[in-house]
């Protein structure tokens, strides 16, 4: 992400009026390796391949804001690996997480974590230290630190189905697991901040498992822990929340958590989300990422993009997909999004 792009993103996040609607895409290991033609194992384990892959994408699309940018990650492995989940690597897909917390009573036996030294967090932090100057030398910055959220982390450690049952059967133990996950996430984000340096000005939290619960359970098991994370960082930081599993139960509550940017899925239209939280959050979305972004024709992508833009009314929006960039999304469809946005922005400026 270039410094000028970050300034635009921050202004959009704060709901300032912009002359041009920006385009931002979440890109990471599900999409990048296949797009640039490398294996996932090389992407994760060869620092040169990782750097070249990101650099190629950034050079190919200089006008797109990539979130979080140069993302040091091992798929979703970092957070659950520290709490004992088994991680399995594959040649042509991101790692898989296997829950190993078979009994919640074993929470009392989990050793104290050390984010600087444990599992894939330690490896990620060292990769940041090794690569950050190369990133800065390209003229780009790393303004965001990133983590899976408490429910997501707990689900990977315990098992999502088991966690959903535990909400009913063992709520006190679930709170213990969520408290542990929240403390870990805050420390993890702060460790990334230290590794990157003073340019960090935002957090990016991804937690789709929040979308699996009703409003009552959201308020008890999700809201307070997400708020603890937001409250742990300066109030003027940009705070982005991603959940493409379902937002109906939590939507009205997210502004009170402290998030000012929402990236959500295809299930809820832009107009419906705008009607409920427009003016309180910047909406980053929500062109269908799979059926349209990957499987659609450029003409279909263009139509879907213009539909989202029209629903937005041109205000309070960062154009994006309804989630991350899905594996297999082709260049032609990304260019179709760019062209549709350019036409929409041109029409706005000519009014």
Digit-coded pLDDT (tens) for 17-30? 999 999 999 999 99
Among 308, 299, 301, 345, residue whose Cα is nearest residue 326? 301
Query: Which of 305, 323, 236, 325 lies closest to 21 in space, CA to CA?
Result: 305
CA 235 to CA 313: how far, in whole Å? 28
In this predicted model, what pLDDT tens digit does every residue of 181-203 receive, in sequence order?
999 999 999 999 999 999 999 99
pLDDT digits (tens, 9 = 90+) for 315-339: 999 999 999 999 999 999 999 999 9
Write out the two tokens for 311.
């629903």
Confidence band, pLDDT 50/70/90 cuts, at residue 309 = very high
Bridge partners (DSSP) of residue 147 are 205
User: Is pLDDT at 277 greater than 80 in this prediction?
Assistant: yes
Tokens of 84: 């004992």
Token readout for 244 is: 């493409």
Q: What share of the chain in percent tops pLDDT 70?
A: 99
**What letter does residue 98 receive in the DSSP assignment?**
E
Q: What is the pLDDT of residue 49?
A: 98
Is the pLDDT at 101 greater than 90? The verdict is yes
pLDDT at 348: 82
The Cα 212–Cα 167 span in angstroms is 11
The strand pair at 317-321 and 282-287 is best described as parallel
Match 């549709």 to its residue by tokens: 340
Domain of 268 in residue numbering reads as 3-349
Question: Of all residues in the chain, what percent carry a pLDDT higher than 90?
Answer: 99
Contact 201, 238 (CB under 8 A): yes
CA dihedral 8, 14, 15, 19 (to 10 degrees): -20
285-288 long-range contacts (CB < 8 A, ≥24 apart) are 285/317, 285/319, 285/320, 285/321, 285/322, 286/320, 286/321, 286/322, 287/319, 287/320, 287/321, 287/322, 287/337, 288/321, 288/322
* CATH number for 158: 3.20.20.210
Do the beta carbons of residue 210 and residue 245 sit within 8 Å? yes
Q: Is 275 left (phi over 0), alpha (psi -120 to 50) or beta?
A: alpha
Helices of type H across the chain: 3-13, 32-36, 40-45, 47-60, 78-82, 119-137, 150-158, 160-169, 171-196, 215-217, 223-231, 254-257, 270-277, 298-312, 331-349
Question: What is d(CA 34, CA 40) in angstroms, rounded to the nearest whole number?
Answer: 8
CB atoms within 10 A of CB 343: 14
Query: Would you tell me the crossing angle of helices 160-169 and 171-196 to the nearest 10 degrees?
Result: 130
Q: Are strands 65-67 and 24-26 parallel, antiparallel or unpaired?
A: parallel
Residues forming beta bridges with residue 241, ordered by sequence position: 205, 262
3-state class of 62 per DSSP?
Answer: coil
Question: Looking at residue 350, what is its pLDDT?
Answer: 65
- Express each pLDDT in 9-61 by its tens digit: 999 999 999 999 999 999 999 999 999 999 999 999 999 999 999 999 999 99
Q: How is residue 27 annotated by DSSP? A: -
Radius of gyration over every alpha carbon of the chain, rounded to an integer in angstroms: 19
Q: What is the mean pLDDT of residues 234-242?
A: 98
Task: Check: pTM over 0.95? Answer yes or no.
Answer: yes
Residue with tokens 């109906």: 248
Residue 351, pLDDT > 90, answer no
In angstroms, rounded to a whole number, what is the distance separating the alpha carbons of residues 21 and 282? 12
- Mean model confidence pLDDT for the chain: 97
- 3-class secondary-structure state, position 267: coil
Instruction: Please write the tens of the pLDDT for every residue from 208-236.
Output: 999 999 999 999 999 999 999 999 999 99
Sort strands 144-148 and 93-98 into parallel, antiparallel or unpaired.
unpaired
Task: Determine the Cα–Cα distance for residues 196 and 191; give it in Å rounded to an integer.
Answer: 9
Total count of domains within the chain: 1
pLDDT at 349 over 90: no
Measuring CA to CA, which residue among 297, 285, 286, 283 is closest to residue 329?
297
């Amino acid at each position: 992400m270039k410094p000028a792009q970050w300034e635009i993103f921050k202004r959009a996040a704060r709901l300032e009026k912009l002359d041009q609607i920006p385009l931002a895409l979440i890109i990471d290991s599900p999409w990048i390796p296949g797009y640039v033609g490398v294996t996932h194992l090389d992407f994760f384990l060869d620092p040169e391949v990782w750097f070249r892959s990101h650099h190629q994408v950034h050079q190919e699309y200089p006008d797109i804001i990539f979130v979080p940018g140069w993302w040091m990650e091992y798929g979703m492995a970092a957070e659950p690996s520290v709490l004992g989940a088994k991680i399995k690597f594959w040649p042509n897909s991101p790692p898989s997480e296997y829950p190993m917390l078979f009994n919640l009573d074993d929470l009392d036996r989990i050793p104290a974590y050390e984010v600087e030294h444990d599992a894939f967090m330690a490896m990620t932090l060292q990769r940041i230290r090794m690569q950050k100057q190369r990133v800065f030398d390209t003229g780009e910055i790393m303004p965001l630190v990133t983590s899976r959220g408490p429910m997501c982390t707990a689900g990977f450690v315990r098992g999502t189905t088991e966690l959903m049952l535990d909400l009913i059967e063992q709520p006190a133990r679930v709170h213990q697991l969520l408290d542990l996950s929240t403390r870990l996430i805050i420390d993890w984000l702060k460790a990334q901040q230290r590794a990157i340096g003073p340019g960090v000005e935002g957090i990016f939290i991804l937690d789709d498992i929040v979308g699996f619960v009703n409003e009552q359970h959201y308020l008890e098991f999700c809201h307070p822990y997400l708020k603890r994370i937001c409250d742990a960082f300066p109030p003027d930081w940009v705070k982005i929340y991603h959940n493409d599993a379902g937002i109906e139960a939590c939507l009205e509550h997210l502004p009170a958590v402290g998030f000012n940017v929402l990236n959500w899925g295809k299930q809820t239209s832009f107009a419906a989300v705008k009607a409920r939280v427009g003016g309180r959050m910047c909406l980053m979305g929500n062109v269908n990422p799979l059926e349209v972004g990957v499987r659609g024709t450029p003409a279909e992508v263009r139509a879907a993009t213009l539909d989202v833009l029209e629903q937005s009314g041109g205000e309070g929006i960062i154009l994006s997909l309804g989630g991350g960039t899905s594996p297999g999304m082709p260049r032609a469809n990304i260019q179709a999004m760019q062209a549709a946005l350019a036409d929409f922005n041109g029409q706005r400026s000519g009014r």
